[in-house]
A and B are shown apart, each in its own frame.
Chain A
Amino acid sequence: MTVLIDEATRRSILSFTFDFRSTTAGVTVIILLLGVLLAREVIRVHGGPRAAQRIDVLNVSVYPLLLAFAALVLVRLVSLV
């Protein structure tokens, strides 16, 4: 009952298998992560006076998404033990 884990999210976590969520919502988030990483590299290579500022905008999405994947892998490993 919070923004991060609301009732709809809780139901989705409990009613769908992890595999289903990975192959639906997970894939879209991976596409987003690949897209922002690609854009980051294009901007970095292209350079220009505003490149650093533009990369900072992308970093707001890049680092949390990368950390999410790290957390996901860690939790999956822990749940397997």
Chain B
Amino acid sequence: MSILPVYLLSANAVVCATYLAAVAMAEVLLLTTGLLAGAVAHVTLVAVLTGHAIAAPRAPYRRLLVALAVPSLLRLLGLVVPVASTSVPVWYFTAGTPALLAVVLAARLVEMPPGLLGRPRTVWVQLLIAASGITNGLLAYLVLRPAPIAEGPLLVPLAAVAVAVFSGLLEEVAFHGILQGIAVEVFRSGAAGVAVSTAALTIMYLGSLSIPFVVLMFSTSLFLGWAVNESGSLWGALGSHIALVVGLVVIWPLLLP
């Protein structure tokens, strides 16, 4: 008798692990080899995942394939759309709008568990989870020390909204909403769902080029995934992620230059 959980031995796990490894390889290629190799890898991955989802309509992991294509789509849109001559908040709006559309279409197609965005059972627990984003954002800022992406009374609120919507909301729905929600259903295990979403989010943060920050995002994702899994609601994690990214690139660089 195996000591491994049953879901780790299934075809679903093999398929999921293979594609997660492919996403990681595409990210490493992008970081080490260059723009073209990374873009080709991500384009290939989107094409293969989409083709696989179409070719295997009855496979239990079919919805997982669509959810796994979203990170590569986000990376491609982030690489191709922004124009250097415009400001960073404009990058978020231009790359983020199609990315948000991809997330909404994927959520509708894979039928993201609707309870995740329903009324939470305990509001104060969600508020506590959301508040963790403030300290995590400060920690992330102390690790990375990024320059402020916007300055001035008009640009700062604009940047905060852009980052909140196109980073906090988008990432949380894509990873802990869609990917984790579907992985929990496919593997019939909350722990497996948290592992899949955390692995995917950590891989996508390799582009920060900072190992301490990647470790911080790994632990944050693990905590938020666990919180979503235990509470059955995405609202706290959503608030926490928004507080983290807005603090990291908009607020803390202005308060603690």
Q: Which residues of A contact B (CB under 8 A)?
A: 1-10, 12-14, 16-18, 20-21, 24-26, 28-29, 31-32, 35-36, 39, 43, 50, 53-54, 56-61, 63-65, 67-68, 71-72, 74-76, 78-79
Contact = CB atoms under 8 A, between A and B. Distances in A.
Interface stretch (B102-110, B117-125, B227-235): B102-110
A52 B12 CA distance: 25
Contacts of B92: 4-5
A41 to B, nearest CB: 14
Interface stretch (B3-11, B29-37, B150-158, B190-198): B29-37
B36 A56 contact: no
Interface stretch (B13-21, B128-136, B179-187, B207-215): B207-215
Nearest to A58: B50
A60 to B, nearest CB: 5
B36 A3 contact: no
Contacts of A7: 207-210
Nearest to B141: A1
B77 interface: yes
Residue from B31, B35, B210 with most neighbouring chain A CB atoms (10 Å):
B35
A40 to B, nearest CB: 10
A79 B86 contact: yes
Nearest to B40: A28
Q: How many B residues touch the partner, as a band?
A: 35 or more
B59 interface: no
19 contacts: A2-B166, A4-B92, A4-B171, A5-B78, A24-B39, A25-B76, A32-B76, A43-B54, A56-B109, A60-B105, A61-B46, A63-B98, A63-B102, A63-B105, A64-B77, A67-B101, A68-B80, A72-B81, A75-B81
A71 B208 contact: no
B57 A50 contact: yes
A26 B80 contact: yes
Chain B's interface: helix, strand, loop or mixed, by majority? helix
Contact of A14 (B84, B109, B170, B209): B84
Contacts of B81: 68, 71-72, 75
Contacts of A6: 78, 204-205, 207-209
Contacts of A60: 50, 66, 69-70, 73, 102, 105-106, 109
Given A7-B207, A26-B80, A61 B86 contact: no
Given A3-B204, A4-B77, A29 B39 contact: yes
Contacts of B86: 75, 78-79
A9 B167 contact: no
B102 A3 contact: no
A75 B96 contact: no
Contacts of B53: 57
